[in-house]
């Protein structure tokens, strides 16, 4: 997995609550059997004016000029600023894959849906939960200031603003460790293979019908 240590980048404000995973990546793109290539269809229905099809060349599609990703000032942005309950809906990991493929490394919101939140960490993406008031003020600062950047430092758990002020954020230590080191969860779990086997033996004694 890709490591996340520090990220400095342009902030893209997506001012919409309850952004669901269908909105992040519509279902027609889920037919792919690969993990990559979803970035061009990130937020497809909001970003383009026509209906997107898998394997289509997106460069000639009509774009929605009002949508934030289509505004030149946010080009190359890597930090997504969002509203509450971001990533609700389906469990599709294609949502973090699409964000990551587009170039987003960090998402800041007052709250996230559980499964999406969890999926981010499997893909080197850092979702940060901040108090609603702080998120509000970040929106207020981002929108009028072209080129507004933040610098996220995972080791220190800080977000540095251009004016030098710092916002602290919380993250659970297991997740922090695996992002910082880009660890592979499966190998980590397999270090406990003997414990799993022992558990399985005990569980089989207790619930033999589950093992027939």
Partner 1 sequence: MTGKTLYDKLWESHLVKDLDDGNSLIYIDLQYIHEVTSPQAFEGLRLAKRSPWRSEANMATPDHNVPTTTSERAQGVEGILDPVSKIQVKSLDANCTEFGINEFTIDDPRHGIVHVIGPEQGRTQPGMTIVCGDSHTSTHGALGALAHGIGTSEVEHVLATQCLQQSKAKNMLIKVNGELGRGVTAKDLVLAVIGKIGTAGGTGYTIEFGGDAIKALSIEGRMTVCNMAIEAGARAGIVAVDDKTIEYLKGRPFSPSAELWDQAEAAWRELHSDDDAYFDKIIELEAIDIEPQVSWGTSPEMVAAISKNIPDPAQMENDAKRGNYQQALAYMGLEANTPIQDIKIDRVFIGSCTNSRIEDLRAAAAVVKGHKVAESIKEAIVVPGSGLVKAQAVQEGLDKIFTEAGLQWREPGCSMCLAMNADQLGEEEHCASTSNRNFEGRQGFGGRTHLVSPAMAAAAAVAGHFVDVRDWT
Provide the binding-site residues for partner 1, judged by CB under 8 A.
Answer: 16-18, 20, 22-23, 26-28, 30-35, 45, 51, 54-55, 83-85, 88-93, 96, 111, 113-115, 118-119, 122-123, 172-174, 177, 185-186, 188-190, 192-193, 195-196, 199-200, 203, 206-210, 212
109 and 88 in contact (C-beta within 8 Å)?
no
Nearer Cβ to partner 1, position 78 or 119? 119
First and final C-alpha spacing in the chain: 36
Shortest distance, position 48 Cβ to partner 1, whole Å? 10
Nearer Cβ to partner 1, position 8 or 36? 36
Strands 149-153 and 6-13: antiparallel
Nearer Cβ to partner 1, position 91 or 157? 91
Nearer Cβ to partner 1, position 83 or 105? 83
Shortest distance, position 124 Cβ to partner 1, whole Å? 11
Shortest distance, position 122 Cβ to partner 1, whole Å? 4
d(CA 156, CA 154): 5
Shortest distance, position 94 Cβ to partner 1, whole Å? 8
13 and 139 in contact (C-beta within 8 Å)?
yes
Shortest distance, position 20 Cβ to partner 1, whole Å? 5
The sheet with strand 158-161 has its strands ordered as 126-129, 106-109, 79-81, 6-13, 149-153, 158-161, 166-168
Nearer Cβ to partner 1, position 5 or 203? 203
71 and 46 in contact (C-beta within 8 Å)?
no
15 and 83 in contact (C-beta within 8 Å)?
yes
């Amino acid at each position: 997995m890709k490591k996340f240590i520090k990220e400095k980048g342009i902030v893209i404000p997506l001012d919409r609550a309850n952004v669901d995973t269908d909105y992040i990546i519509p279902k027609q793109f889920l037919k792919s059997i690969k993990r990559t290539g979803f970035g061009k269809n990130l937020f497809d229905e909001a970003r383009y004016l026509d209906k997107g099809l898998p394997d289509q060349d997106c460069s000639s599609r009509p774009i929605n000029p009002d949508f934030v990703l289509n505004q030149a000032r946010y080009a190359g942005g890597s930090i997504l600023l969002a509203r509450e309950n971001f990533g609700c809906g389906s469990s599709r990991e294609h949502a973090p894959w699409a964000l990551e493929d587009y170039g987003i490394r960090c998402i800041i919101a007052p709250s996230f849906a559980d499964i999406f939140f969890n999926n981010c960490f499997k893909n080197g993406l850092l979702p940060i939960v901040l108090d609603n008031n702080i998120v509000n003020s970040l929106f207020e600062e981002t929108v009028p200031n072209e080129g507004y950047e933040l610098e996220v430092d995972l080791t220190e758990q800080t977000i540095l603003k251009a004016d030098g002020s710092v916002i602290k954020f919380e993250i659970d230590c297991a997740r922090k460790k695996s992002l910082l080191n880009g660890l592979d969860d499966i190998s980590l779990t397999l270090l406990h293979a003997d414990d799993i086997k022992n558990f399985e033996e005990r569980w089989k004694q207790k619930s033999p019908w589950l093992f027939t």
